[in-house]
Amino acid sequence: MDPLIPLAVVVVVVFLGVVVLMALRDERERGEAAQRLVSLAETAERLAATQSELAGRLQQTQSGLNERLDSVSQRLADGLTEQTEKTGNTLKTLHERLAVIDAAQKNITELSQQMVGLQDILSNKQARGAHGQTQMENLVRDALPPSAYQFQAKLSNGRMADCLLKLPNPPGGIVIDSKYPLERYRAFRGAADEAQRTEALRAFAADVLKHVRDISEKYIVPGETAESALMFLPSEAVYAELHASLPEVIEKSYRAKVWIVSPTTLMATLNTVRAVLKDARIREQAGLLQAELLKLVADVHRLDQRVDNLQNHFRQANKDIDAIQISSRKIVSRGDKIESMQLEDENPAEELAPPSEPSEPIERIG
C-alpha cells in the first residue's frame, strides 16, 4: 500500500476540523469541536498506526508469498528437470531394448531359415547321410590323433566303412556307421492319434533293427575288426526316444554287438578309445625302455669285466715295476762294488802300509 494515503487522511480530518471550528461561533461549540477534533486526530493517528501495521503485515505477507512462489517455482523446475532426465533415460532404455528385440527377431529369422535348410537336409537321405558323416568326422577329429582312425576304410569283405578306429589287438579296429533311419521316426512324431503312433513306433523299431543287422553283417569281420561296431545317431532326440520307448531294440542291438551312440555318448566312447591308445603306447614304450635297460645292464657287466681286466693289468704292471726296482737296486749295488774295486787299484801305497794299521775307508763320491 502507498504510504501517502494515511497522510492524506490526516490532512482531510484536520481540514474538516478547521471548517467545524469556523462554523461554530460560540465557545461551547468550539470546545466541543476541539474535543471532537482531538478525538478525530487521535482516531486518525490510530487509523494511521493501524494502516502502517496493516501495510507492514501486507508487505511481510507479500514477501512470504513471493518466497513461497519462488520455492514452488524452483521445485517445479527441479521436478520438470528430473522428470525430463528420467524420461530421456527411459526412452534410451526403450531404444536399447527395441534394438535387442530387433536383433533377436533377426536371429529368429535366420534360425528359421536354418531350420528350413536342416529340414530339407533331413528329408533327403543322401543329404542326411552326409550330415551324419560330417558330424561324426568332426567328433572323431576332435578326440583322436590322425593315426588312430581312417575315414571311408575298405574292409577285406569289400565293404566301405564310414570310419575305422585303429585299436591294437585286442579288441582290434572298430567300425562306426553314420547312416540312420529317420522317416519312421518323423512319422512317429507326427502321428495324429494313439493308433498311428503305435504303428509308426513299431515301424521305426523294425527299421532300426534292420540297420543294426546290416551293420553286424557288414562291419564285424572276424580276425580283422573288433567283435562289435558302433551305430551313430546324430540326433540326441532320436537316441533318447529309442531308450525311452524301445528298450527291447536296445537289448537286441547289444546282443548283435552293435552299440547305438549319440554325439554325447560317441564323444565319451572316443575318450575311452584315446585312453586305450595311450595305454597301448605306454606299454609299447615300456617294452622299448625294458629292452634298452637290458642292453644297459649288459653294457654295465661288460664295463665291469673291462675294469677287472684293467685292474689285473695294473696289478701286473706293479709287479713288473717292483721287479725292475729290484734289478735296478742290484745293478746299483754291483756298480758300487766295481767302483770301490777301481779306487783300491789306484792307491798302491796303501797296500804297503803295515798290516797293524788299518787303512781308512775311502768315502764314495756320488
Greater model confidence, 352 or 326: 326
Print burial letters for 281-313: b (CB count within 10 Å at least 16), e (below 16).
Answer: eeeeeeeeeeeeeeeeeeeeeeeeeeeeeeeee
Is a pLDDT exceeding 70 seen at residue 209? yes
Q: Is 149 helix (H, G, I), strand (E, B) or coil?
A: strand
Cβ atoms of 235 and 118 within 8 Å: the answer is: no
Cell of 40: 478525530
User: How high is the pLDDT of residue 24?
Assistant: 58
Is a pLDDT exceeding 50 seen at residue 363? no
Provide φ and ψ at 232, rounded to 5°.
-90, 125
Class of 125-282 in CATH? alpha beta
End-to-end distance of the chain based on CA atoms, in angstroms? 157
Provide φ and ψ at 152, rounded to 5°.
50, 55
pLDDT band with cut points at 50, 70 and 90 for residue 364:
very low
Greater model confidence, 143 or 187: 143
- In order, the DSSP letters of 151-200 are EEEEPTTS-EEEEEE--PTTT-BEEEE-----HHHHHHHT-SSHHHHHHH
Residue pLDDT, tens place only, 273-321: 888 888 777 776 666 667 777 787 787 878 778 888 888 888 888 888 8
Is a pLDDT exceeding 50 seen at residue 122? no
Q: What does pLDDT average to over the chain?
A: 78
Nearest to 3 by CA among 66, 58, 64, 43: 58
Count of helix runs (H) and strand runs (E) in the chain: 8, 5
Is a pLDDT exceeding 60 seen at residue 184? yes
Domain edges within the chain = 4-23+30-87, 125-282
User: How high is the pLDDT of residue 230?
Assistant: 92
Is a pLDDT exceeding 80 seen at residue 32? no
